Structure 1
Amino acid sequence: MEPHLFGSVHLLFQRENEILLLQRQNTGFEDGNWSVVAGKIDPNEDMLTAVQREAKEEVGVVIDRQDIEVAGVLHRLSGELNWVDFFVRITEWKGTPYNAEPDKSSALAWFPIEEMPDNTIQYVRQAIEKKEQKMWYDSDGWT
């Protein structure tokens, strides 16, 4: 039986008022659109470990667990799939971010939060634009 609930992490790499975005390609999901570093939580992996793994895989940087701040949680219905997305704020890391998966991302760039590309994935844009300092919860795709 396939699981009914999937988990993912979305890394909000921030410096001053800028956010790090990747342009997706060859993934089968939102290709051509901009998103943050993100990925599924693997079996037998906790959320913090998934954050560290995705940072290393996608942009080649190392993040210490104590530098991961949970910003919010999104419960998302995508087609028939039920997702719980953890959005984490990252302001400290080791190394210089680069496009470590050019087969999955055609570009990597810093954007002012107020000037993100029009084709930024909608639920990712909403998460980035949340201004609350406390942790938030939201839902998307449910009627």
Structure 2
Amino acid sequence: MRRELAEEAGLGLPDLTPFGTEYASDDAGRTVPIAIYAGRWNGDPRDLHLTEGVMLAWFAPDDLHRLPIADTTSDLVRRHATGLSTARSEGVSKEELRASPRGTVLNVIGVHLYLERPDGTVLLGLRHPSSAFAPSTWHALAGHCEQENPIACLIREAHEEAGLRIERQNVELVHVVHHIDSAGDRPRMGLFFRARTWRGEPELCEPDKCTQWKFWDPTALPDDLVPYTRTAIEGIRNGKLYSETGWPT
């Protein structure tokens, strides 16, 4: 982020903090996560030397309706402005604001496949080293809900990512994790579904996202495992339906 700011506008902002994630589609129709950072600058954009684009300008959040702007970008700006306004009115510090989103915040819904063989081993995938989230880290087969319900999303992602075919009637919800990955991030609701039966063996259908599928003994999970996935697997094994991670105590 700092490199792009320097290259495109000659700006150096030391105090950048993670704020949220926006999702776009690439030319192949795949969903691509875009990390959003918050920073502060009080200069005149007309004085900047731009190497990309033709203009930078200040706009108040209430003026966004006049601009040709993506709804998701507009929502992020408004959410940031609402959080700052709420913090000022309630005397909340910046650190507290970053740690716990305030006001009405739309949570991201993620679906995850808990695929367990008869021998008790569970399926995990090793994320690609260039992944925006958890690179070179093991994780459950997962995806974000688009214009669909969570079970439809699970069935779609299982087929797109690993070539697995799952029927709706063979799916059951076994755990929910309400988590924040890093301070200031958008909160997420992770739904973990168990597939009682399925067709096919895991394949690397999207090698740019996952480089390996492997069934693991749940009592000997890899050290480099996404933390909330570990929490969910432990919860499932203990018959626990709900967990929270990353929230201030």
Shorter-chain TM-score above 0.5? yes
Distance in 2 of aligned mates of 1:122 and 1:82: 15
Aligned partner of 2:114 in structure 1 is: 12
**Unaligned regions of 5+ residues in structure 1, if any?**
none
TM-score (norm: length of structure 2): 0.54
Name the residue aligned to 2:195.
90
Q: Distance in 2 between matches of 1:123 and 1:46?
A: 22
The match for 2:140 among 36, 47, 50 is: 36
Match of 1:53 in 2: 156
Contact 2:231 2:243 in 1 (8 A): no
| Equivalent residue for 1:71, pick from 143, 149, 174 | 174
What RMSD in Å do the two structures reach over aligned CA positions? 1.4
1:78 Cα deviation from its structure 2 partner? 2.4
Gaps of 5+ in 2: 1-74, 77-104
SS in 2 for 1:23: strand
- Which of the two has higher C-alpha Rg? 2
Number of matched residues? 141
Q: Secondary structure at the match of 2:187?
A: strand
1:126 aligns with 2:231: yes
| Paired residues for 1:102-113 under 5 Å | 102-113=207-218
SS class of match (1:85): strand
Give the Cα–Cα distance (whole angstroms) in 1 for the partners of residues 221 and 245 of structure 2.
20
When you count helix as a share of all residues, which structure comes out higher? 2
CA distance in 2: counterparts of 1:48 and 1:93, whole angstroms:
14
Separation (CA, whole Å) in 2 of partners of 1:73 and 1:117: 21
State how 1:127-142 maps to structure 2 within 5 Å.
Answer: 127-130=232-235, 131-133=237-239, 136-142=241-247
Secondary structure of the corresponding residue to residue 103 of structure 1: coil
Q: Between 98-107 and 31-40, report the one with greater CA deviation.
A: 98-107
Deviation at 1:28, TM superposition (A): 0.6
- Of structures 1 and 2, the one scoring higher in RCO (CA 8 A, sep 6+) is 1
TM-score (norm 1): 0.92
Q: Partner of 2:159: helix, strand, or coil?
A: helix
Q: Which amino acid in structure 2 is aligned with residue 127 of structure 1?
A: A
Deviations 1:65-112 (A, max 9, x none): 011110011111123211111011123111121121111111111111
Amino acid at match of 1:6: V
Write the distance in 1 (CA, Å) between the matches of 2:221 and 2:196.
18
What letter corresponds to residue 4 of structure 1 in structure 2?
A: L
Cα distance between partner residues in 1 of 2:220 and 2:181: 26
C-alpha contact 2:122 2:217 (8 A) present in aligned 1: yes
CA–CA distance in structure 1, aligned partners of residues 238 and 137 of structure 2: 25
